[in-house]
Structure 1
Amino acid sequence: MFYYSVLFLFILNLGISTQDNLSFQNENIEIYSLRQRTFFDVTTKTIVIKNCSLERIEIEAFKNIHVHKIYIVENPLKRLKRRMFSNVQVDELYLDRNNIDSIEPGTFNYVLPIYEDSLQILSLSYNSLQTVTRGMFSGTNFRKIVLNYNQIESVEFGSFENMPYLMALGLGGNKLKRIDVGVFNNFHMPVMLKLSENSIGFIHPRAFENSTIFSLDLEENNLGVISKSTFLNTNIGWFFV
């Protein structure tokens, strides 16, 4: 255990540049921190950091990299900072099953798709987020954001604005009790929206205004009567309740 820990940390200090898959997923390898430029000028298919006791990612730990998938999962990581990912081209970014409870505004503003039409996914399921604020995701290029099974109690006005490619948003299995005005307004594209398994008892009539919702999942909530006035100026395709 000690030998592999020291060897791996030595490699991290040098920085990594390779064309092979990079996979570190051994509970016996303890990596508490990723330092600046740990992954620098890297072109690879997949980076996996799983169950390695990772607690901290420093600014520009991932810089100038081109990778199809990044998995940072099952670690005690709590905080995501702006510019941790700097000029990172990636198709799919998975940050599931950590202890993330804080995301600094602008954290994902330097995460870019590999190809203009690529399906870019950000997954943060099974973490400890309690609120979604403006700046966490607004202005990013993600097509799909998954925030299922956190502890989210509120979503601020405009949290998902200026996201021209967003097509799917998952907020199922959280602690939402109401959907206020402006939360899901002005989507640029038809969106699949999952809000099931919350405690939603109130939806503001203008919560989805000027948006086209391809499918809206409100199953397993606390809603009473739902009428046309609940969704003013909104086009909804499939509706599950």
Structure 2
Amino acid sequence: MGELKEAIGNIAQTGHAVNYLKFRKNSLTIFPAFLLDGLDVTHLIAHHCNISSIEETAFIEKLTFLVSLHLNYNNIQVLHYGAFRGLISLLRLSLYGNKIKTIDPNVFHGIGGNLTRINLGANQLTSIDSSSFFNLTTLKRLQLHENRITSIDVNTFKGFSASDSLDALNLASNNIKEIPEKSFQSLSSLNSLALEKNRISAIHPFAFQGIEDSLEWLTLGDNILNSIPSYALQNLTRLRQLDLRGNNITIVEENSFKDFGLLKSFLFILHILFRLDLRQLMNVDSERLDKNPSHSQLFLKSRFIEFRHMKTETEKLMTG
């Protein structure tokens, strides 16, 4: 630690601006308050440094110009009160690959109003406490993938400070089993939602109520759905891509996409991606399918054509 402090001190004495500073494979254990004295760093990376905690005063009045902080692959278990206080210019924060289990409700106290991206992926969180993100009114992207989150509900994001700004939410690779009614109702600007690689077997018909006019990208792949959740999806008027691959879906019913996106003019291409038992789905024998493997693509294309035709006719009826 002494040698590291001396080296940084020598850099500070040169008077040269240091925009990018990277620590890797050090044994800091604690991120100390004195470490960056005299430096106006804008991008700081400390990977694989065995950091287990951050001193409350580590960043106060020291890194006021810091816009990007990456503390990936350390041993942080708890984010304490005011851990990032003083980082008034911070835009991006990544804590991927730590062991975080607990986040203090005031962890972002004094961080400033500019933070737009937080990556908390690959930690040990079992639930989401929206109060932990208090004051982050400009947050646009929140990554909570590869944790141990078991459930979400209508109260999960209630009171979320970034309800009007959050654009992308990543909940992939958790242990979520169902999507209850109005789970994302508070996130009125949500555009991209990742839910793949969970254990989802049930989606409430009104699961996406509140984000019908904002959601464009939805991934539900590698879950255990037995059928296409048509009713829950049909009011997502701006949906552009839907990923259902890797589920237990074997049949696409004739009306699976009936009235899908009824309120939106059909100006986008909807990509439906899923693995199916094509022999059962298409009702053709194995020999015929093996001779013409392109049937799977033709089938999906014919579904798109039929769907688009049905949509156009419906619009004509509505408009007279």
CA contact (8 A) 1:216 1:240 kept: yes
Work out the CA distance in 2 between the residues paired with 1:179 and 1:138: 25
Confirm or deny that 1:58 pairs with 2:28: no
- Secondary structure, aligned partner of 1:154: coil
Q: Which residue of 1 aligns with 2:22?
A: 48
CA contact (8 A) 2:79 2:102 kept: no
CA contact (8 A) 1:156 1:183 kept: yes
1:117-174 per-residue CA deviation (whole Å, 9 max, x = no partner) reads xxx2101001001233422246743111011111111222422232122111111111
CA drift of 1:184 comes to 2.7
CA contact (8 A) 1:83 1:107 kept: yes
CA contact (8 A) 1:200 1:221 kept: yes
Q: Which residue of 1 aligns with 2:118?
A: 145
Q: 2:134 aligns with which of 161, 168, 171?
A: 161
Range with bigger deviation, 68-77 or 184-193: 184-193
Q: Which residue of 2 aligns with 1:239?
A: 218
CA contact (8 A) 1:166 1:188 kept: no
**Cα RMSD after superposing both structures:** 2.7
Q: 1:83 aligns with which of 54, 57, 76?
A: 57
Aligned residue pairs: how many? 210
State the one-letter code of the partner of 1:210.
Answer: S
Confirm or deny that 1:215 pairs with 2:188: no
- Secondary structure, aligned partner of 1:158: helix
Range with bigger deviation, 62-71 or 166-175: 62-71
Structure 1 unpaired stretches of 5+: 21-42, 115-119
More strand by share: 1
Q: 1:178 aligns with which of 128, 136, 151?
A: 151
Work out the CA distance in 2 between the residues paired with 1:139 and 1:155: 21
Work out the CA distance in 1 between the residues paired with 2:84 and 2:49: 19
CA drift of 1:73 comes to 1.1
More helix by share: 2
Q: Which residue of 2 aligns with 1:33?
A: none
Q: Percent identity?
A: 24
- Secondary structure, aligned partner of 1:54: coil
State the one-letter code of the partner of 2:54.
Answer: L
State the one-letter code of the partner of 2:148.
Answer: K
Kindly indicate whether structure 1 or structure 2 has the higher relative contact order, using CA contacts under 8 Å at least 6 residues apart: 1
Work out the CA distance in 1 between the residues paired with 2:169 and 2:13: 38
Q: How does 1:65-144 map to 2 (within 5 A)?
A: 65-87=39-61, 88=63, 89-113=65-89, 120-137=91-108, 140=111, 141-144=114-117
Work out the CA distance in 1 between the residues paired with 2:209 and 2:153: 13
Work out the CA distance in 1 between the residues paired with 2:139 and 2:38: 24
Instruction: Please tell me whether Structure 1 or Structure 2 has the larger radius of gyration of its CA atoms.
Output: 2
CA contact (8 A) 1:182 1:209 kept: no
CA drift of 1:58 comes to 2.7
CA drift of 1:181 comes to 4.0
After superposition, the Cα gap between the structure-2 partners of 1:156 and 1:45, relative to the gap in structure 1 and judged at 3 Å, is: same
1:58-83 per-residue CA deviation (whole Å, 9 max, x = no partner) reads 33544574322101110111112322
Work out the CA distance in 2 between the residues paired with 1:68 and 1:228: 46
CA drift of 1:109 comes to 3.0
Q: Which residue of 2 aligns with 1:34?
A: none
Confirm or deny that 1:201 pairs with 2:172: no
Name the TM-score, length of structure 1 as normaliser.
0.75
CA contact (8 A) 1:160 1:184 kept: no
Structure 2 unpaired stretches of 5+: 221-320
CA contact (8 A) 2:129 2:156 kept: yes
